[in-house]
A = this chain, B = another copy of it.
Amino acid sequence: MDGLLIYLGSTPAFSPPCFTILYYRFVIPLDWIHEFVKEQIRLRTLRALRGVRGSLANMWDSIQAWLLVCIIGVVCGCLAALIDVCSEYLSDLKTGYCARDFTLGQTFCCKSVNGRSTCRYRCILLLQPRSRSQAIDCPDWRSWSELWTPTQIHDPQWVDFLAYCLIGITFALVSAGLVYLNPNRHRGSKGQVKTTYYTAGSGIPEVKVILSGFVIRGFLGIKTLWVKSVGLVFSVASGIITGKEGPFVHVACCVGNIACRIFDKYEKNDGKRREILSASAAAGVAMAFGAPIGGVLFSLEQVSYYFPNKTMLRSYMCALIAAMTLKFINPFRTDKIVMFQVTYDREWHWFELGFFLALGVFGGVYGSIFCKLNYLWVRYRRTSWIKDHQIAEVLVYVTLTLVLSYPNIYTRMNSTDLVATLFAECKEGDSYSGLCVHQTSGYTTIVKLLAFAFFNKAILTIITFGLRVPHGIFVPSLVIGACLGRLMGTSVEYLYRLYPTSPFFDACGGAGTCITPGAYALVGGAAVLCGVTKMTLSLIVILFELTGSLTYILPIMLVVMVAKWVSDFISPEGVYEKMIRIAGHPFLNNQREYIHTKSTGELMQSDLDVIDANEENTVTTLRAKLSAMIYSGFADGGFPILNGDLLVGYISCSELDHALEKTKHLGPDTICYFGHSAADSSMEDVRGEGGAGGVGGGSGGHLLAPPTADFTVYVDLAPLSVSLRASVEMVTELFSKLGVRYLCVVEQGRFQGVIHKKRFLHYLQEVK
């Protein structure tokens, strides 16, 4: 009755015990019932225990993930605070030093005087020598000329200028040197050694590629982490036009990747690790801008390939913890994580929409032109003599930037401060220094300065992006757009002050101030950013979290939409996609639609070598096949395993190579089996004994037959197959949504050929 009891115990849903007992009451003796009840209790307790253990294991499983993202968040937050403080201090060092305490930056040096920072934006008088104006507000902060001015030089500004340039150049060279001294060497597809510098540039394109399933060895390692962090500090401090967001995303992903080693589950499972990397990318943005929600959306829209709800929650948590840590550390002692706090208290007017739209069109046009020119420049750099002189290039470039930037107060200050200045609103009661003026007379100076800043940044950025130092594109784009936006806003304000009663300005109702030039800067920044990076939703949310103001939500959304349309019309690829293309990484953009020109049958390779499970596949023949495949430059392909013309499985070249490596000791005549081969089912026993768990074989080898090896564990026994008549759209969906690397093509069950992802990507490149 053992069978009956187990039956009763295991499927109670089908046959409730009470029924069965009723039925059997005349058959089963009483002690059997007793036995039965005992057994039932035992079974149920066991199951309950297993349930509890299962749910505990389950819980530990999910706690692991949460723990991991928390650790990553905390580490990222601390790292961000450290990088921020260091780069701020070094950046300030370009203009002077704190006499009271050399380890203080400008903000903290001046803060103690009257409790609040006075020297950030307000005290800078236009085009006045900085030292003089500061002498009034902040006696502890000294410019370099105050330290030592040779008697031959009459104007101390030249000393400041030289110090500014020299320190900046030194920092840039330190950054470039760090990158240069830490190259990554790896083997190319044909075995040659390639040298790349993973720590240079933004890192977002590569993270995108990694999240799409491709492996770039060493890109997220410890070495990359520290080189990129330190390099970033110096490159930001040097004064080249750069931002921190791209490198921060890269750094956060490094942290995530390294943290994955804590838990076996994440260390061993690439898919799980990618989930954590998506979350880390969100933390990267959160730590760069104090924008946790923007970070999650950035990860969703821009970086991640596959972003289910679960990953979203992890990203959310990771970004939240990073932002919390940053807020807790409070590196700038502002008690805020909002970087460019603004409080626009005026609603926008409908007549302003025209100007906003113009900004949107400009953003789209500039963005796509930027992408194209930058692409050409980067390609030129990779092929011309510059390739081998990239430190010299950095030197030339940083000198140019610093010399051109020093004369103008807005280009001289670092990018973050500039954005804050441009976004700031002019309030009626304010002292009207800097970008805000009382009368119409001050406008020309502002316009000149802003126009110079705009052209300076807009042109230099094109060559900056792709330089061999860690740098980002987010803040530079923002600066360019904000300069132009502020320029336009100031002009509109000027017009309003000239003609306050014009019917065009009816909506203002003749109020003293009606236009908010800072909002134009915000709108302009959004437009250019969208044009350059093709971000939409995440960009808007990041901007709101940056400024803390939602008043201009509708104009900004509209402008971003327009910029997106315009830039998509001119060129559908964003700057990151272009970078991926230059680097030659395989990346299937699942956000694009393709107009297909070929059929599935035309796309598949039908002349591929196959392994017939019915033939006698010895190590020798397999080696020959493998060599031929690799020789034909198709080392990441594989062999379909057939039984007649029916598909049994698929083995990739690397797996086959690995398997053959393991059977070396068995000699060249070893016969290899691949999964169930219907033809010789008599052999099954031999294999069963020979090696259930992989390569073993040779059980009967010494007697009569040659040794055998079972390769089944290396075979993908359930390769995804599509019909020959399936549409190419279907094929695209399978590749992009399921992340498979190959598809077998069958027609009425008979094998026809294989489509490899790499080949398919080539085809997609063509149809674009």
Q: How far is the CB of A644 from chain B (nearest CB, A)?
A: 9
Task: Give Cα A751–Cα B296 distance, bound, in whole angstroms.
Answer: 44
Q: Please determine whether A554 and B320 come into contact, CB atoms closer than 8 angstroms.
A: yes
Stretch of A108-116, A245-253, A304-312 that contacts chain B: A304-312
> Which residues between 531 and 549 of chain A lie within 8 Å of chain B, taking CB atoms?
536-537, 540-541, 544-545, 548-549
Bound-complex Cα distance A645 to B750 (A):
11
Whether the Cβ atoms of A308 and B746 lie closer than 8 Å is no
Q: Return the CB mask of A664-683 against B: 1 if under 8 Å, else 0.
A: 00000000000010100000
Q: Chain A: how many interface residues by the 8 Å CB criterion?
A: 72
| CB of A748 within 8 Å of the partner chain | yes
Q: Is the CB of B718 within 8 A of A730?
A: yes
Interface centre among A337, A554, A719, A724 (most CB of B within 10 A): A554
Interface string of A376-404 (1 = CB under 8 A from B): 00000000000000000000000000000
For A749, give the chain B residue with the smallest CB separation: B646
Contact with B along A296-326 (1 / 0, CB 8 A): 1100010000001110110011001001100
A293: chain B residues within 8 A (beta carbon): 537, 540-541, 553, 557
Per-position 1/0 for A146-164, Cβ under 8 A of B: 0000000000000000000
Q: Across the interface, do B309 and A301 meet the contact criterion of CB distance under 8 Å?
A: yes
Contact B561 A317 (CB under 8 A): yes
Q: Given A336-B347, A550-B545, A733-B738, answer yes or no on A316-B725 (Cβ-Cβ < 8 Å).
A: no
- A297 vs B307: C-alpha distance in the bound complex, in angstroms? 14
Chain B proximity of A409: nearest CB distance (Å): 30
Among A301, A723, A725, the one with the most B-chain Cβ atoms within 10 Å of its Cβ is A723
Evaluate contact between A292 and B557: CB separation under 8 angstroms.
yes
Task: With a 10 A CB-CB cut-off, give which of A544, A557, A733 has the most chain B CB atoms.
Answer: A557
Residues of B within 8 A of A750 (CB): 646, 749
Contacts of A738 in B (CB 8 A): 733-734, 737
| B-contact 0/1 string along A80-113, CB 8 Å cutoff | 0000000000000000000000000000000000
Q: Determine whether the beta carbon of B544 is less than 8 Å from that of A550.
A: yes
Asked if A551 is an interface residue, CB under 8 A from chain B, the answer is yes
Contacts A537-B316, A561-B316, A678-B748 known; A717 to B725 CB distance under 8 Å?
Answer: yes
CA distance A308 to B717 in the complex (A): 31
Check: A445 CB closer than 8 A to any chain B CB: no
Question: Which listed residue (B309, B723, B746) contacts A591, Cβ 8 A?
Answer: B309
Contact B730 A723 (CB under 8 A): no
- In the complex, A564 has a CB within 8 A of chain B: yes
Q: Determine whether the beta carbon of A550 is less than 8 Å from that of B553.
A: no
Expressed in whole angstroms, the Cα–Cα distance for A593 and B751 within the complex equals: 33
What residues of chain B lie closer than 8 Å to A553, measured between beta carbons?
Answer: 292-293, 545
Complex Cα–Cα for A721 and B647 (A) = 12
Given contacts A316-B561, A536-B313, A748-B678, contact A308 B548 (CB under 8 A): no
Q: What's the least CB distance linking A587 to chain B, in Å? A: 15
Q: Could you tell me which residues of chain A, from 431 to 486, have a CB within 8 Å of some CB in chain B?
A: none
Contact B550 A591 (CB under 8 A): no
Cβ of A590: which chain B residues have Cβ within 8 Å of it?
308
Evaluate contact between A310 and B591: CB separation under 8 angstroms.
yes
Let me know if A46 is at the binding interface, CB within 8 A.
Answer: no
**Smallest Cβ-Cβ distance to A591: which chain B residue:** B309
What is the CA–CA distance of A742 and B385 in the complex, to the nearest angstrom? 58
**B748-A648 in contact (CB<8A):** yes
Which of A58, A727, A737 has the most B CB atoms < 10 Å from its CB? A737
Q: Is A327's beta carbon under 8 Å from chain B?
A: yes
Closest-by-CB residue of B relative to A541 is B293
Q: How far is the CB of A159 from chain B (nearest CB, A)?
A: 42
Q: Chain A 604-647 against B: per-residue CB contact (8 Å), 1 yes, 0 no?
A: 00000000000000000000000000000000000000010111
Determine the chain B residues whose CB is within 8 A of the CB of A373 once the complex forms.
none
Q: Is A726 engaged at the interface, CB distance under 8 Å to the other chain? A: yes
CB closest residue in chain B, given A558:
B320
Q: Is A720 interfacial (CB 8 A cutoff)?
A: yes
Is A267 positioned at the interface, with any CB of B under 8 Å from its CB?
no
What 1/0 mask marks residues of chain A from 329 to 369 whose CB sits below 8 Å from any chain B CB? 00000011110000000010010000000000000000000
Chain B residues positioned under 8 Å from A724 (CB to CB): 718
Contact among B316, B558, B643, B748 with A748 in the assembled complex (CB-CB below 8 Å): B643
Interface flags for A539-578 (1: CB within 8 Å of B; 0: not) read 0110011001111011001100100100000000000000
- CB-CB under 8 A from A591, the residues of chain B are 308-310
CB distance from A533 to the nearest CB of B (A): 13
Which chain A residues in 689-731 approach chain B with CB under 8 Å?
Answer: 717-727, 730
A550 contacts across to B, CB distance below 8 A: 338, 544-545, 548-550
Question: Which of A335, A564, A595, A646 has the most B CB atoms < 10 Å from its CB?
Answer: A646
Q: Determine the distance from Cα of A221 to Cα of B347 in the docked complex, in whole angstroms.
A: 38
Closest to A546 in B: B550
* A335 nearest CB neighbor, chain B only: B347
Looking at A591, A645, A722, A748, which has the most chain B CB atoms within 10 Å of its CB?
A: A748
Closest 7 CB pairs of A and B: A646-B749, A718-B723, A718-B726, A309-B591, A749-B749, A718-B725, A737-B737
15 residue pairs bridging A and B, Cβ less than 8 Å apart: A292-B554, A292-B557, A293-B537, A293-B557, A301-B312, A309-B591, A312-B536, A313-B564, A316-B536, A324-B558, A545-B550, A676-B748, A721-B746, A737-B737, A749-B751
Add 5 more A-B contacts to A313-B536, A320-B561, A733-B737 (CB < 8 A): A292-B557, A297-B537, A301-B312, A309-B591, A320-B557
